[in-house]
Chain A
């Protein structure tokens, strides 16, 4: 070190010596820095180069548009429209309180504290990412935000496709609704291709055809700056929109039927008897599936969920009711086929029949006198069917009933269809642990007892009477749509052909004639609601399903009975009689007598549809 013997050197020499030491130190430090730069730029250069690419290039998802659902005439039932979301970019805002106050004053459902809180909680690394304050602004709110855009830096409007249902509650049970995929589902292998914030069908066609309607998300690469702003983008893989789906529904009929049902609680099912296509499937009360299109509010959800009438229930396929007298044509068909009776065989009705110790009443306490097949249906005599019940084995009814689609799901393209119950002796042994009694058959033959059916099953059953003997599986989706998978492919081909029921043609014609008389004979139970237009004559059957035991029915007049104890009203019909175009089944819960509540609805729906066909 140069400064040791400084005293012997001149001052200049001392300084020069010390300066040299400093120069060497500087040289070493600069060499060290050079080495560092060599390491970063030459040794690790490629690694850092890749990192700089990763920094700016990101892959983003392009959301596929969901397939559109239309009715049989191409009328749109489920569509995609643009939703406008209100967003806030934290890093672009200095005075959050002012911005929050301004927004709160312009837009409903926001409050200053929540916004400020959200703003403050955002970690610094995410401050460039927009926060969604409110989804799906209405046009008024949108206009107010747009008008104040200059006062609101850092506030932006993002567009997003949202599902829209133009017919809302008219067919919300058929179409269903969407919901966000939840965390639990995301862990399941079936949801492998889903991401957070994806919507999936939660009920109806939307749920059943989720994969078909969904489409395939695309990908694009974007160049972003440090704030995450997109500078340029190019598509690697375009999004593939979901496939469109055409339903067999006639939305005009559906809407008219929905209006006809009014405040009644119940179902209306209309089927084309020539091929099993469902023309209308109404369930009341209904709900607005548009409420689910964006996140449904807790208030709305509670309102729907706590409604004692269960509006979410899809009654035509999920409501299991005793069929009441609407089952009688089937019983008669079984009796005819098994040669227990001929159409002319008559039984005497005195207002009741006694079997053992039990007295089974006819609805007409004064009795019908001598009753043959035609009168039994026309006037719906119960005693006639009690007599049949003592002669038919329950398992014969079960066998024929199955051919008409009872006791099993129809296989309609909706989730959670119920099968109802078509009892047999073995069923009772297994489930009630008791043998089958004639008394049980008596109840079955007037559509009570263990027997339950869905309105869809009744409608499907009457299509067999309408077309003269062919059972078509009722279906909602048009043939020409691609099948969902191989298993449904099979059911589709069989549903197109239909299956013949084992009822001979002349027996079928006898029953059809009887059903014509129900409506068109002066003494028929539905004579009041006949269709008088030439060539449009209707045939059908009324039904009254008891909700409680007969004893209470002694109360005079249905007006004195509390609503929930009143009978369910049925009416099943088809028209025109000679060449049926439509089969209809109407059920009004607690509607009293079928002839007075359900039949007028059915008649008007049929008239509407036949009028439409004529045009």
Chain B
């Protein structure tokens, strides 16, 4: 099984700590962002998959917010999501103009800014449903943990690629990356937002693994993670413990916290092989399904399109992830490579956690399905990440 075709004419990977990288970075700053002769270098496949997933998402959002009495051919949520997608496309397009090497320069300042925002939440954040996650800036609610997620990947890629010490690294040599991950993770865990904390740690794990670590380190980390999981139980909030307990036995409390998982499983299962059909999912239209256009949108999709539909959706995501990892492997330099694998990991873990959660494989942690769930922040972040991915691919040939 070969995932990446290593063609003989491929140029050697440039180390971001080399002088060559430095000089290349300088020359690219003056280069025209788009060249008519290089249109074939653009990654149409990833962009196509993105459009396909967003389109399916819009269709499902329409079905989850459809109200036969209100009429109209688009629901308000659908229109808003489409608007967010357009804005995100413009933002992503704008980002594409700039060579991703700018991010190499900006990685640490952005990381610092992300930490500052998290500290600001700690001091002046607005409380909502027992958690302090939002910052009110000019009437808009911003969730700094979303931004921090991005800056951690940047800082990690920057640090690992700029390092003179060659991999694989052992535990001692990983001290700095661990600190880079731990600082924001700790602040986010305090909010408390267990889901995003978990996500950041998992993404960082993938980036560090791609960079290379020793086998002993893997074993040590696995053992200590398991120990921490059991020890960490004592530090969990009541609602978090409840979620874990409910996850283990949802039937225990079918109308309380187990309700979400139970109803979501019913919705998915009721889809059977071919699904109930578009707009015909009763779990969805009669609102038995909670958060049906955001976190639980996959269940609404599964109810309408059945096993065949879910297989198709999973295949689309898998193709997208496969492509993203390929971009990581074919990147011009180590920074691009680590950054691309961080982006691939972000999408992978979000999809895994979200579908695992709605199908009852994992506790409910509140991670949306990227490109699919309703939500402006998620859409903006996703398209920004994809834009960077396309950027890395576009500049793969130096």
A11-29, CB under 8 A of B: which get 1 and which 0?
1111110111111001101
Question: Out of B209, B213, B286, B311, which one reaches A22, CB within 8 Å?
Answer: B209
Can you offer 14 A-B residue contacts whose CB atoms are under 8 A? Answer: A3-B215, A12-B10, A15-B328, A20-B3, A26-B348, A33-B314, A37-B302, A41-B302, A41-B306, A47-B269, A48-B269, A51-B270, A124-B256, A225-B287
Query: Are A3 and B12 touching (Cβ within 8 A)?
Result: no
CB–CB B167/A3 < 8 A: yes
Q: In this assembly, does B166 line the interface, its C-beta being within 8 Å of a C-beta of chain A?
A: yes
Known: A6-B168, A45-B307. 16 other contacts (CB 8 A): A3-B212, A16-B6, A18-B211, A26-B325, A30-B318, A33-B361, A34-B314, A37-B307, A38-B307, A40-B269, A40-B360, A41-B271, A42-B273, A46-B272, A52-B267, A53-B282
Q: Is A147 an interface residue (CB 8 A)?
A: no
Which listed residue (B13, B214, B282, B321) contacts A15, Cβ 8 A? B13
B3 with A14: CB separation less than 8 A: no
The residue on A at minimum CB distance from B348 is: A26
The answer to whether B287 and A23 have CB atoms under 8 Å apart is: no
Tell me the complex Cα distance, A474–B112, Å.
Answer: 100
Q: Is there a chain A Cβ closer than 8 Å to B46's Cβ? A: no
- A-B contact count, CB below 8 Å? 166
Contact B210 A22 (CB under 8 A): yes
Q: Are A34 and B311 also in contact (CB < 8 A) when A6-B212, A10-B12 are?
A: yes
Query: Is there a chain B Cβ closer than 8 Å to A36's Cβ?
Result: yes
Residues in chain B near residue A42, CB distance under 8 A: 272-273, 307
Q: Determine the residue in chain B with the shortest Cβ distance to A9.
A: B212
| B286:A224 contact, CB within 8 angstroms | yes
A1 within 8 A of B: yes
Chain B minimum-CB-distance residue to A24? B1
The verdict on A56 contacting B212 (CB below 8 Å), with A19-B341, A41-B310, A48-B266 known, is no
Within 8 A of A (CB), among B245-272: 255-256, 259, 263, 265-272
Q: Which of B79-87, B91-99, B351-359, B374-382 contacts A (4 or more CB under 8 A)?
A: B351-359
1-57 of chain B: CB within 8 A of chain A: 1, 3-4, 6, 10, 12-13, 15
Asked if A44 lies at the interface with its beta carbon under 8 angstroms from chain B, I say yes
Of all A-B residue pairs in the complex, the 3 with the closest CB atoms, nearest first, are A48-B269, A125-B255, A45-B272
- Check if B151 is an interface residue, CB within 8 A of chain A: no
Find out whether the CB atom of B13 lies under 8 angstroms from the CB atom of A11. yes
Provide the bound-state CA to CA distance between A508 and B256, in Å. Answer: 82
Complex: chain A residue closest to B303, CB-CB: A52
A4–B215 contact, CB under 8 A?
yes
Kindly provide the distance from the CB of A197 to the nearest chain B CB, expressed in whole angstroms.
Answer: 22
Q: Is A49 an interface residue (CB 8 A)?
A: yes
Q: Chain B, 301-317, contact with A by CB distance < 8 Å: what is the 0/1 string? A: 01100110011001001
Residue among B212, B283, B360 having the largest count of chain A Cβ atoms under 10 Å: B212
- The residues of A that contact B212 with a CB separation of less than 8 Å are 3, 6, 14-15, 18
Query: Does A15 contact B337, Cβ atoms closer than 8 Å?
Result: yes
A132 within 8 A of B: no
User: Would you give the shortest CB distance from B273 to chain A, in whole angstroms?
Assistant: 6
Q: How far is the CA of A14 from the CA of B268 in the complex (A)?
A: 41
Nearest CB of chain A from residue B5's CB, rounded to whole Å: 10
CA of A21 to CA of B345, assembled, Å? 13
B359, A36: Cβ atoms under 8 Å? Answer: yes
Point out the residues of chain A lying under 8 angstroms from B10, CB to CB.
12
- Which of B265, B282, B314 is the most central at the interface, judged by chain A CB atoms within 10 Å of its CB? B282
CB distance from A154 to the nearest CB of B (A): 17
Instruction: Find chain B residues with CB under 8 A from A47 CB.
Output: 269
Instruction: Confirm or deny: B206 has a beta carbon within 8 angstroms of a beta carbon on chain A.
Output: yes
Residues B265 and A48 in contact, CB atoms below 8 Å apart:
yes
The answer to whether B270 touches A45 (Cβ under 8 A) is yes
Among B267, B286, B317, B341, max chain A CB count under 10 A is at: B286
CB contacts (< 8 Å) of A223 on chain B: these are 286
Q: Is B147 an interface residue (CB 8 A)?
A: no
Asked if A11 contacts B269 (CB within 8 A), the reply is no
Q: Is there a chain A Cβ closer than 8 Å to B391's Cβ?
A: no
Is B213's CB under 8 angstroms from A3's CB?
A: yes
Point out the residues of chain B lying under 8 angstroms from A52, CB to CB.
266-267, 270, 282-283, 288, 303
Interface residues of A in 51-77 (CB under 8 A from B): 51-53, 55-56
Where the two chains meet, the residues of B that have a C-beta atom closer than 8 Å to any C-beta of A are: 1, 3-4, 6, 10, 12-13, 15, 166-168, 206, 209-215, 255-256, 259, 263, 265-273, 282-283, 286-288, 302-303, 306-307, 310-311, 314, 317-318, 321-322, 325, 328-329, 334, 337, 341, 345, 348, 352, 355-356, 359-361
Partner of A226, one of B213, B268, B287, B356: B287
Inter-chain CA distance A537–B250, complex, in Å, is 86
With known contacts A19-B328, A45-B269, A52-B283, A30–B314 Cβ distance under 8 A: yes
A219 to B25, CA, bound (A): 78
Min CB–CB distance A361 → chain B (angstroms) = 82
- Of the candidates A3, A16, A48, A123, the one whose C-beta lies within 8 Å of that of B4 is A16
Give Cα A53–Cα B303 distance, bound, in whole angstroms: 13
The one of B13, B166, B321, B352 in contact with A12, judged by C-beta atoms closer than 8 angstroms, is B13
A190 within 8 A of B: no
The reply on A231 being an interface residue by CB < 8 A is yes
Q: Which of B273, B286, B314, B322 contacts A225 (CB 8 A)?
A: B286
A460 CA to B307 CA, complexed, in Å: 82
Q: Are A29 and B352 in contact (CB under 8 A)?
A: yes
Task: Establish whether residues B286 and A231, one from each chain, have CB atoms under 8 Å apart when the complex forms.
Answer: yes
Known: A3-B213, A15-B329, A33-B314. Is A40-B268 also a contact (CB below 8 A)?
A: yes
Q: Is A487 an interface residue (CB 8 A)?
A: no
B-chain residues with CB within 8 Å of residue A32 when the two chains form the complex:
361
Least distance between A9 CB and chain B CB atoms (Å)? 10
Given A22-B209, A125-B256, verify A49-B359 contact (CB < 8 Å).
no
Is A56 touching B286 in the complex (CB atoms < 8 A)? Answer: yes
Interchain CB contact under 8 A, A33 and B359: yes
Contacts of B4 in A (CB 8 A): 16, 19-20
CB-based contact B314/A124 at 8 Å: no
A295 within 8 A of B: no
Q: Please determine whether A41 and B269 come into contact, CB atoms closer than 8 angstroms.
A: yes
- In the complex, the answer to whether B329 meets A19 with C-beta atoms within 8 Å is yes
| B residues in contact with A40, CB < 8 Å | 265, 268-269, 359-360
Contact B329 A56 (CB under 8 A): no
Which residues of the partner chain B approach A55 to less than 8 Å between Cβ atoms?
Answer: 263, 266, 282-283, 286, 288
Chain B residues whose CB sits within 8 angstroms of the CB of A38 once the complex forms: 307
Contact bitstring A198-224, B, C-beta under 8 A = 1, else 0:
000000000000000000000000011
B271 adjacent to A33 (CB under 8 Å): no
With a cutoff of 8 Å between Cβ atoms, the chain B residues found around residue A18 in the complex are 209-212
Tell me whether B273 and A45 are in contact (CB under 8 A). Answer: yes
- Interface flag for A7 (CB, 8 Å): yes
In the bound assembly, the distance between CA atoms of A53 and B282 in angstroms comes to 8
B204 to chain A, nearest CB (A): 13
Contact between B268 and A15, CB atoms less than 8 A apart: no
Point out the residue from A3, A123, A225 that lies within 8 Å of B168, measured CB to CB.
Answer: A3
Contact (Cβ within 8 A) A16 B329: yes
In the complex formed, the residue of B with least CB distance to A51 is: B266
B210 contacts across to A, CB distance below 8 A? 15, 18-19, 22
Tell me how far the C-beta of B251 lies from the nearest C-beta in chain A, rounded to whole angstroms: 12
